[in-house]
A and B are shown apart, each in its own frame.
Chain A
Amino acid sequence: MRSFASAPLLGLWFAFLALPFAGWRGALWTGLACAALVAAARTLGRVLRAEPVARRLAMAQEAIGESWEFMLRGTRDWRVAALVLLGLVAFPWVLDRYKTDVLVVAGIYVMLSLGLNVVVGFAGLLDLGYVAFYAVGAYSYALLSTWYGLSFWPGLLGGAALAAVFGILLGIPVLRLRGDYLAIVTLGFGEIIRIVLNNWDDVTRGPNGILGIGRPHLGDFRFSQPMHFFYLVLALCLITMFIVGRLNRSRIGRAWAAMREDESAAECMGVNLVHAKLLAFAFGASWAGLGGVVFAAKQTFVSPESFAFFESVIILCMVVLGGMGSVPGVVLGALILVALPEALRELTLFRPMILGGAMVLMMVMRPRGFLRERGLRLAEGALPPGVPREEGR
């Protein structure tokens, strides 16, 4: 970025580029905004890079990282964990119905993005049609529930399993090929699922969607309030975090990370790529399926609209912005991306544009996300005491 031309020239250039789309006036504004932004970013960059500031910044970053880790380690203490849990459990009592409902949606996204994180963040495979598996889960429960009256809990398993099967079927053709092909095949698959849902009227009722999907119940207790779903989703999120975290800190997680870093070196070190890829893919898909079933049960209604390509992009964004590979980072990313549009309603129109731009910026400036993954991929306590701490960086 440093060899870029000067700010006014850049402004002129982008004004020129924007001209056919934004008209004279729009182009002028675009140019000015670009020039101002570039100049501001430059100055900021210079200030931040100046010796004393840079040192302090690095220290602050280190400190934030440390305290974050401290907090995480804290939650391993059962007393702290209990306190946090208590706080979470109290949410619906403090918030109104609407906000609780938003939290339920956020929770579903947390599950989805943790699942996608296994594929993209852990295993390094780009899946651009993630929402298709979400749709598979949602529709399979919708159909089983409305046709056969299948109840929620078996539906949960069924949806996840079916989605996993789709994941494996889709993964097989691209196993031998570079990861980019997976991206395009999943992208295509996402479109197909949407087209099929829209057109297979006899089964999916097309764009009208499916109504009257059964809600979950536990014995005689029926889930009906947002609060009930909040607890359901909260439990599922915690379980997901637990499972994903443990997978990461194991032989499996190390194999994924090795594959992500250097696929063929990993294979030479004994990692069976077929198993590792299919496992990541099936796991990611089944979690999307799980999320889909919960979504269908919460809405009692599904239609193809909910499964547009843009949903896949949003979920990918949660993973990328939060920090690929880092479980707390991804959770944070999901929460922020659900909360932001709630807070900034005026920006709805610009949201996709901002997300797209943010993905590019993130890759160029901070490819590891806000919270870089930390810690060893090892079962806690497997490390003998007395191993010298990391030196240097």
Chain B
Amino acid sequence: MSAAPLLECRALTRRFGGLVALDALHLEVRPAEVVGLIGPNGAGKTTAFNVVTGIHPPTAGEVSFEGRSVVGLRPSAVLQRGIARTFQNIRLFRGMTALENALVGRHARLRTGPLGAILRSRRVVEEERAAVDFAMELLRFTGIERHALARADSLSYGDQRRAEIARALASEPRLLLLDEPAAGMNPREKGVLNELILAIRDRGVTVLLIEHDMRVVMGISDRVVVLDHGQKIAEGPPDAVRRDPRVLEAYLGSAHA
């Protein structure tokens, strides 16, 4: 717990017009942790991911990863640094196979340029072969190997979520951002997902997890951070957070609004 933070957000703020989606957020994620990020709808969780990955520039504040700032980088450069993500509203490349999706995730770790692709030297073929092996290994790891050659949009909902995880892992990230991976899964699938996330951590990938399903978050997170109206209202081990009155109020309050 004393290790230097892997990801650190300081006073991170993001406005959309008059709306403050993130309000001076401080967030730390340390290596080899699973951190849960929760909060009512519209709390700013996804926005936090979007700012960290460079989709939206922050209005103010700082994001550093492994001690270096990632503010101002394009999303592709952020991925290159070692942060990969999945999307709340699944965004697989629908017309491509699961395998191809994972290979696109591997894109940043491959070197072949246009000339190499045309001449297809032995090195290029080797690289392709290794990439396919790696992607297949991830499809196996996430449990969708038998759908490797099926079009992404023909997969079941749960399998699509897993394909997104495989695609993100293909870039060998050190930090994985999961945006509601359990949404739309049945209880059995959620159980499998729990195992998967722990296995991801055991591979040495740190996980920051947005999730509404409390059993998933509370079951696997080492630490939970609660957002409401863009602000952090609580932070700590799952049990403590669960009993925090401010958290209860945020959830119940928003349920009444």
The answer on direct contact between A and B (beta carbons under 8 Å) is: yes
Tell whether A251 pairs with B75 under 8 Å between CB atoms, given A270-B80, A389-B149: no
Q: In the bound complex, how far is the Cα of B108 from the Cα of A237, in angstroms?
A: 32
In the complex the two chains form, is A391's CB within 8 Å of B147's CB?
A: yes
Min CB distance A115 to B, Å, is 14
Contacts of A387 in B (CB 8 A): 99, 136, 148-149
Interface residues of A in 370-392 (CB under 8 A from B): 376-379, 381-384, 387-392
By beta carbon, the residue of chain A nearest B173 is A270
Residues of A within 8 A of B85 (CB): 268
Known: A246-B118, A264-B55, A387-B136. A269 touches B125 (CB 8 A): no
How many Å from the CB of B128 to the closest CB on chain A? 4
Q: Does any Cβ of A come within 8 Å of B171's Cβ?
A: yes
Residue of A nearest to B146 (CB): A388
Asked if A262 CB lies within 8 Å of chain B CBs, one says: yes
Question: B132 contacts A261, CB within 8 Å?
Answer: no
- B133 lies within 8 A of A379 (CB): no
Q: Which of B2-10, B88-96, B183-191 contacts A (4 or more CB under 8 A)?
A: B88-96
Q: Is A322 an interface residue (CB 8 A)?
A: no
- How many residues of A are counted as interface, with CB atoms below 8 angstroms from the partner's CB atoms? 40
Q: How far is the CA of A258 from the CA of B105 in the complex (A)?
A: 10
Q: Provide the bound-state CA to CA distance between A383 and B150, in Å.
A: 14
A393-B80 contact given A250-B112, A268-B85, A270-B105, CB 8 Å threshold: no
Contacts of B91 in A (CB 8 A): 262, 265
CB neighbors of A among B28-56 (8 A): 53, 55
In the bound complex, CA of A15 to CA of B198 (Å): 67
**Do A271 and B150 touch across chains, with their CB atoms under 8 A apart?**
no
Cβ-defined contact, A267 with B76, below 8 A: yes
Residues of B within 8 A of A316 (CB): none
* A253 interface residue (CB < 8 Å to B): yes
Residues of A within 8 A of B92 (CB): 265
Contact call B96/A251, Cβ cutoff below 8 A: no
Q: Is A247 an interface residue (CB 8 A)?
A: yes
Interface centre among A265, A381, A390 (most CB of B within 10 A): A265
Question: B87, A265: Cβ atoms under 8 Å?
Answer: yes
Distance in Å: Cβ of A200 to nearest Cβ of chain B: 34
Q: Is the CB of B150 within 8 A of A392?
A: yes
Contact of A384 among B74, B76, B96, B136 (CB under 8 A): B136
In the complex, whether A252 has a CB less than 8 A from a CB of chain B is yes
> How many Å lie between the Cα of A267 and that of B79 in the bound state?
9
Instruction: Check: B235 CB closer than 8 A to any chain A CB.
Output: no
A267 close to B118 (CB less than 8 A): no
Q: State in angstroms the CA–CA spacing of A283 and B118 once bound together.
A: 13
Contact A377 B96 (CB under 8 A): yes
Decide yes or no whether A277 CB sits under 8 A from chain B.
no
What 0/1 readout, one digit per residue, does chain B (98-121) give for beta carbons within 8 Å of chain A?
Answer: 011001110111101110111010
- What is the distance, in angstroms, from B7's C-beta to the closest C-beta of chain A? 16
Q: Which residues of B contact A247 (CB under 8 A)?
A: 114, 117-118
Nearest chain B CB to A111's CB is how many angstroms away?
16
Would A254 and B100 count as touching, CB distance under 8 A? yes
Which residue of A250, A265, A271, A383 is within 8 Å of B117 (Cβ)?
A: A250
**Residue in contact with B79 in the complex, picked from A269, A388, A391, CB distance below 8 Å:** A269
Proximity bits, A193-236, B CB within 8 Å = 1, else 0: 00000000000000000000000000000000000000000000
List residues of chain B with CB within 8 A of the CB of A264: 55, 75
A250 CA to B136 CA, complexed, in Å: 17
Residues of A within 8 A of B99 (CB): 376, 387
Taking CB atoms, residues of chain B closer than 8 Å to A384 are: 129, 132-133, 136
B74–A272 contact, CB under 8 A?
yes
**A156 at the binding interface (Cβ < 8 Å):** no
Complex: A246 Cα to B117 Cα, angstroms: 6
Most buried by B among A253, A270, A279: A270
Q: Is there a chain A Cβ closer than 8 Å to B69's Cβ?
A: no
User: Which chain B residues (125-151) contact chain A, with CB distance < 8 Å?
Assistant: 125, 128-129, 131-133, 136, 145-151
Cα-based distance from A60 to B74 in the complex (angstroms): 47
Task: Report whether A268 and B100 are in contact in the complex, using a CB–CB cutoff of 8 Å.
Answer: no
Assembly CA distance A47 to B192 (angstroms): 46
User: Is B94's CB under 8 angstroms from A261's CB?
Assistant: yes
Chain B's closest residue to A379 (CB) is: B128
A255 at the interface (CB under 8 A from B): yes
CB closest residue in chain A, given B49: A268
Q: How far is the CB of B131 from chain A (nearest CB, A)?
A: 8
Asked whether, in the complex, the Cβ of A268 is within 8 Å of the Cβ of B150, the reply is no
Known: A252-B112, A269-B171, A379-B124. Is A258-B104 also a contact (CB below 8 A)? yes
B93 touches A258 (CB 8 A): yes
Provide the residues of chain A in CB contact with B129, threshold 8 Å: 379, 381-382, 384
How many angstroms between the C-alpha atoms of A178 and B55 in the bound complex? 15
Q: With A247-B114, A268-B55, A269-B105 in contact, is A390–B95 under 8 Å at CB?
A: no
Given A254-B100, A273-B76: 20 more A-B contacts, CB < 8 Å: A247-B114, A250-B124, A251-B107, A252-B114, A258-B96, A269-B171, A271-B104, A273-B74, A283-B114, A376-B100, A376-B149, A378-B103, A382-B128, A382-B129, A384-B132, A390-B149, A391-B147, A391-B150, A392-B150, A392-B154
Chain A positions within 8 Å of B, measured between CB atoms, are 243, 246-247, 250-255, 257-258, 261-262, 264-273, 279, 283, 376-379, 381-384, 387-393
What residues make up the interface of B, taking CB atoms closer than 8 Å to A?
53, 55, 74-76, 79-80, 84-85, 87, 91-97, 99-100, 103-105, 107-110, 112-114, 116-118, 120, 124-125, 128-129, 131-133, 136, 145-151, 154, 167-168, 171
Q: List 21 A-B contacts (CB under 8 A).
A: A247-B117, A250-B120, A258-B93, A258-B104, A262-B91, A262-B93, A268-B79, A269-B84, A269-B105, A270-B79, A270-B108, A272-B76, A376-B100, A378-B132, A379-B125, A379-B128, A383-B132, A384-B129, A388-B145, A388-B149, A393-B151
The 9 nearest A-B residue pairs measured at CB: A270-B108, A250-B117, A382-B128, A261-B93, A270-B79, A265-B91, A390-B149, A379-B128, A258-B104
